[in-house]
Every structure is written in C-alpha cells, then in structure tokens.
Structure 1
Amino acid sequence: MIRRYFVRSQTKPLPPATAAELPSFDLQGGRPVELRLDGTAKQALETGRTRLLVAAVSFALAFSLIGWRLIDLGLMTDRHEPSIARDLSSGGLETGRADIVDRNGIVLATTLPTASLYANPRHVRDPEAAAAQLATVLPQASAAQLGAKLASERSFVWLQRNLTPRQHDAVNRLGIPGLYFQRERRRFYPHGALTPHVVGFTGVDNQGLAGIEQSFDDVLRASVKPLPLSLDIRIQHILSEELARSIDTFSAIGGAGVVMDVTTGEIVAMASLPSYDPAKPAAAAAEARFNRASLGAYEMGSIFKIFTTAMALNEGVVTLRDGYDTRQPIRISRFTIRDFKPKNRWLSIPEIFMYSSNIGTVHMAMDAGTPAQQTFLKRLGLLQPANIELPEVGQPIVPSPWREINTMTISYGYGLAVSPLQVAGAVASLVNGGTAVRPTLLKRDPAKVAKGPRIISEETSETIRRLMRLVVAKGSGRKANAEGYLVGGKTGTADKLAGRRYARNARISSFVAGFPMDKPRYVVFVTIDEPKPTKETHGYATGGWVAAPAVNNIVTRVAPLVGIAPRDNGNAMIEQLLVEINKSAEGRQLASN
C-alpha cells in the first residue's frame, strides 16, 4: 500500500536510526515521496481503520433509532403511546386484581398503577431542607414528620404511599438525592361513598378488608375478568338520595334501604347512611362504616303483621271473613297491649291488617300457637343470619326462652330484632307467589334461578298482595301510593330500647312495599333511625309519615328505569277485599242480634 506525505525540513536532525529507516524521504526539499508499509505497521493501521468504521456505523444507527423514536412519540402518539384508559378498556393492563362492576358493566372498583415514595436517609444530604421542600408537595405529611424520617439511621423509610400523578411529577422535579419511587397498585372507587357498604375496600397492599372486596378476595386476586354484581348503580343513586332526603327532613341519625328483585333475589340497591369514602376508610367514623342494612338488627314494629297474617291465613287459622273484638286491651303479667289508634269494635281480618291493630294481630298469633310462629319465621329466614355474600352480617336477636308474652309481642314486631335485608327477603318470599328466595349481591341469569321451597300457597300469596295494596290505598300507607304503579306495603314503627326500657322519643320508622302488586317485580324497604316530628307531619314521626313518602319517590323514579309503565286500574285489586269486609260486618251484626 502506498501513501503520499509532505515532510517539512526539520530544525532538529533525526537520529541516525530514524533516518536510516526512511530512505525515501527528501528531508531538505519538502517534496512528496512514496512510503511503503509492510508487516506489523500495515496490520495495525488496517485494524484502526476498521474499528473507526464500525464505530461510525454504530453511532449512525443509534442516532437513527433515537431520531425515529422521537418522531414516533411526537407524531404517532395515538397509535403507540401507552394509555391507561385504553389498556383498562381492552383488559391489557396488568393490575393484579379484577374489577368489580354493576349489573350493567359500570365500574364500581378498579386498580390502577401508582408510585410510592421512599427514601434512603443515608443518601439525603440535608434532611431538614429536603423535608421542607417535600412538605410543599405532600400536604398529608408535615415537614416535622418528614424530617424525622429523613434524619433516621435506617436505609429505607416510606415517605408516602400511592402518590397522585401530580405529586409524583412534583417530587421528581425537586431533584432531591436519596428519594426513590416504587411502582405499586392502588384500588380506586369511582362512585365514592355511594357503594362502600356493598363493595367494601382494600388495604394498602390491595387485600380485601370489607364487603365484596373481602368476601371475594381470592377470586379477585386470581382473575382478570370483572366480577358483576346485582347492583344497578342508577337505582343505588336513587335509593341513597331519597334516604338522605328523609334523614335531613326529619333530623334523623341514619337510615337504610334495600331494593330487591322478588324472583331472583338480586339486590339491585342497598344503602346505609351515614356513608364514607372507601378510599379513606381509616378517616371514617365507626358509625359511618357500620352497615345498617345487613349488620344492624332492629325491632321492626307493625311490618311483622305481614308475617303473622300470612301464617294465620296459610295455616287455616282464620279466613278473610273472620275477625276479632279489639275493644279490650290484652293484659298479661305486668304488660298491657293496646292499639295505637283503637277502633273500639270488632274488626275483620282485612281491617285488622289495614288499621294495624295490635290486639287483633295478637289474637291471630295466639290462635296459631308458639310452635307454628317459630316454624314460620324460621322458614322465612328471620331466626338466623341472612345468607348473603358479605362478611358484615348481623345475628338476629331472638328471645330465649320463647314465652307466651314473646309470641304476643313478636306478632306485631317487638321482641325479635332482624336486619332490613332479612325483612326484604322475607316479604319477597311472600309476594312472589309464595316461594323462598335467597338474597344475593351477584348478578344472576333469571332463566337459571330455580324456585326455592314453598313458604305459603299461591292463594295466600295473592291475598297478602291484596292486603298490602289495601294498606296503601285505604290505610296508613297512603303516602306510598305512587300513582299508576300499584304499590302495596305495610308501615312499621318501633320504639328503641334504652337500657331495659323503651325510649319515648327514639324510634325506628319503616315502610316495606312491593310493586306492581298484581305481579310484583321488586320489594322496596326503607327505615329511618330516630326521626323527629315536624310541623308538616302534625307531630308524628311514624313509618307512614317518614318512610312511606320516600318509598313513593323511589318507586316513581325507579319504575321507568326498569321498564314498568304506569297503569290506571284504580282499586281493582282491593274490590274483593272491600266486599269481604262488608260481608264480615254484616255477618257479625246478624250474629250479635
């Protein structure tokens, strides 16, 4: 190989050895001469040239890739940029815990990736200054708390778990040495305080600690497929809103409600107020976390007359033309049983139910007997905890021993405490044709739901529906009469126990309803805890004044959503009952003559 060089004259002569090795250079004239390299020198030059070429190609390729990625990110974001929203919708985001959704697929609980901040205090140069800076972007932590952590001798301390994206970016911009981020997952509840008593919540490590989150913790951890609940978030919103309105109107301390499908047992709405934010359960009061709908046990008052009347009719103890003399209070031991608004006459069975006579109901229960009462209530699921997919389920308060006085008082709703969920399930079993239905919070296919064991006959079920319609059309439940939707129901008012005595001005006011009563689809139960009378209610705070109007509003708002059109068939359902009442009165008059 030949290379040409220009060699200038040198001020310092070359050593003899060097001059001898370069015989072809003209050291005086500066003329180009030919230089021939052979052997080791030639090989070294070729290696250097090859390495230089490889490095140049590598740098060119790297810069080409970087340039293409910059163009890709800048111009083609929609096609390639990672998107949490898109990954959630396509199921492509690995969250480690399945979503919980309502019956229509609306997300009730989901998991998103977050960043948690920790520090190695040994790498933090100025703990006090770092803490002051961090406190400006982490409002939940004080500078003193952060400073104590950053000044510790440990090599690892958590500063804050599950930062928001804004906090993550703000901490990053501070550029404080010794701070690091750990990628984690956090559970989010888009509807906040609307569903916490059903959905529940998780801890910082995404372990279910309450509600469905706890009951199905293993299932949610093992699956990526959403868990569909029976809840309809639209109906849940209506129920919660009407409960809150009643609590506010009557200055109550709380309330609960249930809306249940009478055929499948699906709970389409279940609310307990006051409520709380499932994202911050530790900040909620114990009263707010308490699930009044499934965990609370209350004496329900006259609502229990539905069960006593159904038992007596089904067992053949009475017929609609029978009745009892309600003029005299019932005295047993040191107790006296009276009617709230006495009629002071003989009442037929429909009248006893319509006017909510304690005396007449006690006579029916005593004629049926204590064993029959116990058996019937047990079959309705009122003597054992509700069988529902929640860990927060209350134990009913059952008398032991069950004496004669207990049989009497339980007949009209005192002496046996149950949950609102149990009442809704029991009433659904009576109005759906008479077959037992088990409440559930999981979405069911109606075609695959088998009928439960028979509780009462279809004929008795139809009679109970007509009696409940009579209460709303002519009795104490008229404020629940949502026009066009054939609402039937029963009021219930019970004084609360205060120690060993009943309080005078503290009560539970409730109303249970079904609609439409010619072919029921839903049961609605509302209970308000310690309502106060108002001027508009003329000093009353009973179930008919407090809870019945809320049920009216709920039915009126829910019916169109579920495809139930209003009808105008007046009192067709109760015409036969009115005939029976007249015949009973005539028969009684003839007998007395």
Structure 2
Amino acid sequence: MTTAASEPTSFLQIRRSQPRVGAGSISSGAVRSRVYLAMAAFAAVYLLIGGRLVLLAQMDETPAAEFISAQDAVAASRPDLVDRNGEILATDIRTASVYAEPRKIVDVEEVLEGLGSVFPELNSDTMRQRLSSRAGFIWLKREISPAQQQAIHRLGLPGIGFLWEKQRFYPGGPTAGHIVGSVNIDNQGLAGMEKHVDDAWLSDLRSIGFASDRPMEPVRLAVDLRVQHVVRDELAKAMERYQAIAAVGIVLDAHTGEVVAMSSLPDYDPNNREEALDKDKLNRATGGVFEMGSVFKTFTTAMALDSGRVSMRDSFDATRPIRAGGRTISDFHGKNRILSVPEIFIYSSNIGTAKMMLATGIDEQQAFLKKLGMTERLPTELPENATPLLPKRWGELAAITVSFGHGISVTPMQTAVAAAALVNGGRLIPPTFLPRDEQTANSLATRVISEEASRAMRYLFRLNVLSGSGKRAEVPGYLVGGKTGTAEKVENGRYVSNKRRNSFLSAFPMDDPRYVVLVVLDEPKPEREGLAATAGLNTAPVTGAIIRRAAPMLGVLPQFGEGAETIEISY
C-alpha cells in the first residue's frame, strides 16, 4: 500500500505536466516577440536622441562658414600710423560687434523685443525675417559701445553673441584727416595713407592670412603733428576772419620733398566715416585743381631767366596793355611805365610777365611747365591726385594768360613742389608723405633750372616781401620770401570780379631755403569795410603766422644782426 509520503511529486512538476488551455492562454513565442519589440522601440528612441545630440554637438563645434569668414575679417590688424616724431596718428582699438545665429534662436519675438530695447531700429519686419531664417550667421550691429554690449549681454538671448574686432581710432580727429585718410567698417583702407598702406603691402598680407592678430611695426610718416596743428589752426582762424569758404595750407621740405604738413579745410574727422563722403570736404591740396593766379609768374620768371634770353638787368615796356586774340591784357594797379625784371615781379605786372614769356617762346613755355610737372598728374602716396586742366589750344593768347596763372589749373601740391625746385638750387624733387633723407632725395632729383637762376629767384622772393606785395608775410629773423596770387574765379565760362582765390607761395629762410609754405584762401572777404581782399592782405599774413609758430618747431633758428639780409645774387 502506497502512501502520498512514499511517492512525493513536486508542485512544479505537476504544473509543467498540465498544459494551460482556454481562450486567455498565450504562447511562449508571442511573449518573446513582444519583448523584442519593446527592446527595439527603446533602442530606436535612444538612437534618435543620440543622433540629435551628435547633430547639436556638431553645430556647436563646427561654426557656419559665414561665422568663420566674419571672425577672420574682424581679426585683421593694421599697423599704427605715426608722425615723424612717433606721435600716434592712427591705431587699432578693440570693440564689440553683436551677431545672431538664427538656427539657434528659440523665440524670435523674444529676441526682437530684447534687441529693440537697446537698438530700436532692429525691431522691424525685415529683422524678423532674417532671424526666422536658417542662416548660420548674420551681423546685427557693428562697433557697439561697452554699455550697449553689456545691455545685450544681460538679456541672455539664445543665438545672440559678440565678436571682438579691430576698430580704427584717430586720436587727433580731423587734424591730419586728409593725410591719414580713413578705413571702412572692415578696417580696409579707403583714402589717404591708409589706402596707400593697403595697396603697398597690407592687402597681400591679409590675402595669405598674415594680418590677423599680429603685431605690426608702425608706419612712420613725414608729417610733423605739431606743425600740422599750426597750419590747420591758422587756416581755420583765417577762414573765420576773412569769411572764406575753403582754405589750403602746405609745408614742404625743399631739400627732401617731404610733406611736413598739409591741411585742406573744410576737413573731416576720420573717426566719423560719413563725413568723408561730404563733397565739400574733399582734399583740395592734392585732389583739386585751380587757377593759381599770379603765383604762376614765379614760374614764368624762372623760365625766362634760365633760358638766357632774359636777364635781371632787362626791362620791358608796361605803359600800354597788350592785345592778343581779341582780348586786352592789362595790369591791376599798373605803373604805366617801363619796368625792370625785379619790378615786374614785385609789382606783379601781367604785361611785363607776358612780354618775358614772349621773349622766351611759347614752345619753351610748354616744355618748361612739363619739366616742372605742371602738365600731368603728380603722383604721391595719396590716391587723391587730380590731373591738371590745360588749354585746349596753346596759342599766343593761351600762352600769355598761362604766363600769369590764368587758363591753366593745377593742384596746390604741384605748385609747392615746383616752387621748391626754383629755390633749392634748381632740383625738382618728387613729393613724399613718408620720411626721406637728403641722399635719397638727391638720387631722385632732376635739374630744371640752373643754380644761377635759382639764386635770382631767391633774391626776387625776398625782395617781394621786403618791398612788394608780400610785406605782411615778414617774420623778423626768418628771411621770408614769396609771391602773392589773386585769381578771379570762373562761373559759367566767365571770370567773376567779386569772387577770388588768393594764394601766397613762400619759402624760408631765403639765404638757404629749407621749407616752402603755400597758403590758399577761397573767396576771402575784406577783413573790414574799406579794405580790399587781395592776397597781400590775407594769405600773406596767414603765411607769416604759420612760419612764426612753426619755424622753431622745425629747428630753424632766427637770424638777427648785421648781414642777416644778405642774399647772394649777381647781375
């Protein structure tokens, strides 16, 4: 007899031996399928999330091409521009610019509202469209102030960032604006020496990536900032005193051709790029051409004396006007008598000057002015160099009017450069805005008149200040010499008697001229009622004021005492 205790059977064996039956039963294969399906679903979700994270990581680590291009552009450096004494004329400073990466912006309206609180002009439909795009990079505002940068930063807007870039800064403002020039918002030179530096070598460095965040040696200029300030200051005071509409001043080293100072008013502040676009603020010294009037008699006289056909002992009849080409050539306050060559110069006789030219020859006149560089564009480092306007037909009438500065228009710089050749011993030296020593200048110089003719011109320059129309340019101790010029302006093809352009072309010290100074005033008015508005009454004293202040800065010592007025001259 068998009992339950003698034949034990496990509960598990009984459960396995009895298969489940009925409508609710599920096969083991179905269970495994559901497990695998769930695992696949979870894997897909994880893969999707991982892929998105990888994509976002790549977006952060790989900036848009536009961003890289902008980053390279704003990192571009420029060398400092300094004057001959090392004073900074132009330098780079760091400034922030704000940009957006539209594909990273979460809420466009929030960004627009935030930006508009600092820059109201950015809260616009156009900006909404730009921020709603899938662009990788867009500029929002360039060269913002530190306060604006902090205000944007505090907003914490996703997709909005800052790039630190180089901004050009000109400590002297407009003082030497036309010399240093200006740059665009990407720090590329547009005008003046800034443009010259780009054209000479900086743009090439940029193209190969050697101008980004690299210290550069300063570029030294020939200008003396102290003298530059003096010239600009005196011109500004003269414009106010004589109610002139424009003015030009140039100080040129007669031995080296260096431009020590050059100012053209009205001028502009290169820190404000918009001012550079004002047509009234152009660089008249090199970029404008004008009839220079009677200062041109300097060149006619030098030509006549150098030709050997006229000497200092000669005289010419100035009692009656000259008739040529249906026009009458007369003198302003003429002496109506025979005049010697020195008298023709100091009395500024149109008749006597024309007769000296005719005695020399019309062909010789053209050749001489070409030799002086007055008939073609004068190259300098500045890109602003105008081309002279010459007579269409160089006949007798044209030659006569050109002899006293009418019918030909040149730049003031051309006038100063040619005058330097007449007083420095007869050597024409190309002008430069960069430092140059005398040895280099001598290698570039070309002879245009003889040393004897140059000595005669120095004598005439000094004589005109002592006894002629240039008396008000005299500065005790500095042996100033020069020639006045008063040219009527042309309107609608006719000369207008009540609108003049006055000039004074000078040099000092006349026993061994070191510097040429040219001053031009456009449409000066009488200083007070009852006075005239001739060059002797306005540009001559302005020139004297410049020399009085600038000469000590330039190291020119005054000469006093017996023999100070001696100038070598032979007849």
TM-score range, shorter chain: 0.7 to 0.9
Matched residue of 1:298: which SS?
A: coil
- Residue 319 of structure 1: how far off its partner (Å): 1.5
Equivalent position amino acid for 1:549 in 2: P
**Counterpart of 2:391?**
399
Asked if 1:201 is matched to 2:182, the reply is: yes
**Counterpart of 1:589?**
none
Name the CA shift for 1:457/1:283 in 2 (closer, same or farther; >3 Å): closer
- Residue 258 of structure 1: how far off its partner (Å): 0.8
Measure the CA separation in 2 of the matches of 1:203 and 1:443.
26
Q: Once superposed, what is the RMSD of the aligned Cα atoms?
A: 2.3
**Counterpart of 1:299?**
291
- Residue 504 of structure 1: how far off its partner (Å): 2.2
Instruction: Kindly indicate whether the alpha-carbon contact (under 8 Å) linking 2:250 and 2:519 is maintained by their aligned counterparts in 1.
Output: yes
**Counterpart of 1:74?**
none
Match of 2:489 among 496, 507, 511: 496
Measure the CA separation in 1 of the matches of 2:458 and 2:225.
28
CA offsets, 1:238-271, max 9 Å, x none?
1111111111111111111110000000001111
- Residue 183 of structure 1: how far off its partner (Å): 2.7
With normalisation by structure 1, the TM-score equals 0.77
Matched residue of 1:535: which SS?
A: coil
Asked if 1:506 is matched to 2:499, the reply is: yes
**Counterpart of 2:407?**
415
- Residue 96 of structure 1: how far off its partner (Å): 2.3
- Residue 212 of structure 1: how far off its partner (Å): 1.4
Name the CA shift for 1:486/1:131 in 2 (closer, same or farther; >3 Å): farther
Asked if 1:160 is matched to 2:148, the reply is: no
- Residue 478 of structure 1: how far off its partner (Å): 0.8
**Counterpart of 1:169?**
150
**Counterpart of 1:467?**
460
- Residue 148 of structure 1: how far off its partner (Å): 4.2
**Counterpart of 1:351?**
343
Structure 2 counterparts to residues 24-39 of structure 1, below 5 A:
none
- Residue 144 of structure 1: how far off its partner (Å): 4.1
Instruction: Kindly indicate whether the alpha-carbon contact (under 8 Å) linking 1:470 and 1:574 is maintained by their aligned counterparts in 2.
Output: no
**Counterpart of 2:353?**
361
Measure the CA separation in 1 of the matches of 2:217 and 2:280.
31
- Residue 371 of structure 1: how far off its partner (Å): 0.9
Which stretch of structure 1 is more off in the superposition, 304-313 or 110-119?
110-119
Name the CA shift for 1:103/1:575 in 2 (closer, same or farther; >3 Å): closer
Name the CA shift for 1:169/1:570 in 2 (closer, same or farther; >3 Å): farther
**Counterpart of 1:377?**
369
Match of 1:280 among 268, 272, 287: 272
Measure the CA separation in 2 of the matches of 1:422 and 1:569.
36
**Counterpart of 1:88?**
none
Which stretch of structure 1 is more off in the superposition, 414-423 or 320-329?
320-329
Matched residue of 1:464: which SS?
A: helix
With normalisation by structure 2, the TM-score equals 0.80
| Matched length | 483
Asked if 1:216 is matched to 2:197, the reply is: yes
Measure the CA separation in 1 of the matches of 2:396 and 2:173.
48
Q: 5+ unaligned residues in a row in structure 1: which ranges? A: 1-93, 581-593
CA offsets, 1:310-354, max 9 Å, x none?
111111122212111111011123211111111111111101101
Name the CA shift for 1:390/1:284 in 2 (closer, same or farther; >3 Å): closer
Name the CA shift for 1:179/1:313 in 2 (closer, same or farther; >3 Å): same
Name the CA shift for 1:440/1:164 in 2 (closer, same or farther; >3 Å): same
CA offsets, 1:116-139, max 9 Å, x none?
10124565566566555545544x
Instruction: Kindly indicate whether the alpha-carbon contact (under 8 Å) linking 1:149 and 1:157 is maintained by their aligned counterparts in 2.
Output: no
Matched residue of 1:418: which SS?
A: coil
Equivalent position amino acid for 1:463 in 2: A
- Residue 434 of structure 1: how far off its partner (Å): 0.8
Measure the CA separation in 1 of the matches of 2:419 and 2:190.
31
**Counterpart of 1:35?**
none
Measure the CA separation in 2 of the matches of 1:457 and 1:129.
79
**Counterpart of 2:532?**
540
- Residue 557 of structure 1: how far off its partner (Å): 0.5
Name the CA shift for 1:260/1:418 in 2 (closer, same or farther; >3 Å): same
Match of 1:314 among 306, 313, 316: 306
Q: 5+ unaligned residues in a row in structure 2: which ranges? A: 1-74, 206-210
Equivalent position amino acid for 1:201 in 2: S
Matched residue of 2:482: which SS?
A: strand
